[in-house]
Chain A
Amino acid sequence: MFRRDGVLYRQVNGSYREHFEQLLATGLFAFLVAKGLIVDHEDVDLDLRHTDDAWRVIKPSPIPFVSYPYEWSFGQLRDAALLTLRIQREALDRGMTLKDASAYNVQFVGCQPVFIDTLSFETYREGRPWVAYRQFCQHFLAPLALMSRVDVRLGQLLKPYLDGIPLSLASRLLPWRTRLSFPLLTHMHLHARSQERYADKPVKGSSVSVGKLSLIGLLDSLRKAVEGMEWHPAGTEWADYYANTNYEPDAMRRKSEIVSEYLDRVDPATVWDLGANTGTFSRIASRRGAMTVAFDVDPAAVEKNYRDGTRDGERGLLPLVLDATNPSPGLGWENTERSSLDERGPADLVMALALVHHLAIGNNVPLERIAGYLARLGTWLVIEFVPKEDSQVQRLLASREDIFGGYDAAGFEAGFRPHFAVVDRQPIEGTCRTLYLMQALEPARRPT
């Protein structure tokens, strides 16, 4: 995989030629593309090759925003798991198999999961086990089981464990009663025991035999295990947010009108909504054709947003779990295998509605530092200032000493002035809040 002039290409080496030709000749690739399960590509000139052993160079259709499994809600990870299993099943029917089952091989276009690794397929040889079985269990089954059976926040374990959650760890964390579930007993607990038992006894995939029917049985069992895992967002603080805010319907309508007006004025192609909750305001952007990413810290809000998006077939809105006070960092070797949030930007426009008080008061970040970071994320900013008189800020201040002397409208504007020019400001009638449209003094640039 390499980039030229900002365009992503993939090189198919001579050693992979046989498998790639089979992928095309069997009709598997065409079938998966037609069903929208895999990313399409176009062939480009071999002169664009990266190294001399290239046999072919392809240009995959671009993914609007690259996201990672530790940013997905439960439902997103579950759908990515089911997509991987479906593709492996379709491949097997056409004499091929997936050699990887990494969650990083799935991306989301809006709320639609799509497989991106066209070079993961290889010829299936009768009797060979599924080499990606362990990876599937670590990348999908272990986090899904922990999220549904222990706590949804355990999905965050995918951040330190980039090759999936070790099964020995998942097995220890899962409650004892999960041993009564046949799929979890086998694919998690016995799998972990077997790994421990044969840890120092090298076995090659080619020396064991697993019949095709057994593989089909294994895939069916994994699919049922994934389908059987459930998590329902309920009762958390944020998923019910709009039900217990101090926004009256009229004020909510007014806020929507101002946000719409600002979006029409800027006409952004990409929007990042930080603190999007269930995506009410993100949808104002996505309905205008902007590729919108709706970030929220609460997995329940993101799950609701994703389910609504799936129901509506949203292709321009991507809900993701992200803590704005601790955004995804660069991870992996040299911290560059997985990009940080700002490395995946900038967006044309960032929305930060009802967020600034959480950062400034809840997390004690100086206003100027908030402005500095937001200016790195996007060129335009729609931001809501929530003053101290607001009952939500009072709630934050109830449990901490008020050391935030400069936190008022004048202090807010002064803090943002080094990074942004205020283009417009409008009070939201019926509240004590103000909406701002700002433009960064220097256009945000993709970090190099």
Chain B
Amino acid sequence: MTSELHVAMAVLAYIDPGSGSFILQVVVGTLLGASVALKMYWARLRAYFVSRGERNDGDADRGA
């Protein structure tokens, strides 16, 4: 029992939680990065249509 405990503690001392943190960061980071990219493109797309809309309104104003 005691020796088992020693082995368990020795194993625990060599466990490196850093690896799992890196792997998770790759997986979760990819997902979150994709959502940031989507938001950015969406904002650009909106800005494009809004500015086009404003230009058209401006043309309409000048026409009137």
What mask results when residues 191 to 226 of chain A are scored 1 for a CB within 8 Å of chain B, else 0?
101111111111111001111011111101100000
Question: Which B residues lie within 8 Å of A203 (CB)?
Answer: 18-19, 22-23
Q: Is A129 among interface residues, defined by CB-CB distance under 8 A?
A: yes
- Closest-CB distance, A219 to chain B (whole angstroms): 9
User: Would you list which residues of chain B between 17 and 55 have a CB under 8 Å from chain A?
Assistant: 17-37
B26 and A200 within 8 A (CB): no
- How many residues belonging to B are interface residues under a CB distance threshold of 8 Å? 24
Question: Which A residues lie within 8 Å of B34 (CB)?
Answer: 217
A217 and B33 within 8 A (CB): yes
B16 and A202 within 8 A (CB): yes
Could you tell me the dominant secondary structure of chain A's interface residues? helix
Across the interface, name the chain B residue whose C-beta is closest to A191.
Answer: B24
Question: Which B residues lie within 8 Å of A218 (CB)?
Answer: 25, 28-29, 32-33
Q: Is B15 among interface residues, defined by CB-CB distance under 8 A?
A: yes
- Closest-CB distance, B51 to chain A (whole angstroms): 24
B29 and A210 within 8 A (CB): yes
Question: Which A residues lie within 8 Å of B36 (CB)?
Answer: 213-214, 216-217, 220
Q: Is A412 among interface residues, defined by CB-CB distance under 8 A?
A: no
Residue of B14, B20, B25, B26 touching A197 (CB-CB under 8 A)? B20
- Closest-CB distance, B11 to chain A (whole angstroms): 8
Given the known A-B contacts A134-B17, A213-B36, are A194 and B30 also in contact in the complex, defined by CB atoms under 8 Å?
no
Question: Which B residues lie within 8 Å of A191 (CB)?
Answer: 20-21, 24
Residue of A186, A199, A209, A217 touching B17 (CB-CB under 8 A)? A199
Q: Is A167 among interface residues, defined by CB-CB distance under 8 A?
A: yes
Given contacts A190-B28, A217-B35, 5 further A-B pairs with CB under 8 A are: A137-B21, A199-B20, A202-B16, A204-B22, A208-B22
Between A and B, 26 residue pairs with Cβ closer than 8 Å are: A129-B22, A134-B17, A166-B17, A191-B21, A191-B24, A193-B20, A194-B27, A195-B21, A197-B20, A199-B17, A199-B20, A201-B19, A202-B19, A203-B19, A203-B23, A204-B22, A210-B26, A210-B30, A210-B33, A211-B29, A213-B33, A214-B25, A216-B36, A217-B31, A218-B33, A220-B36
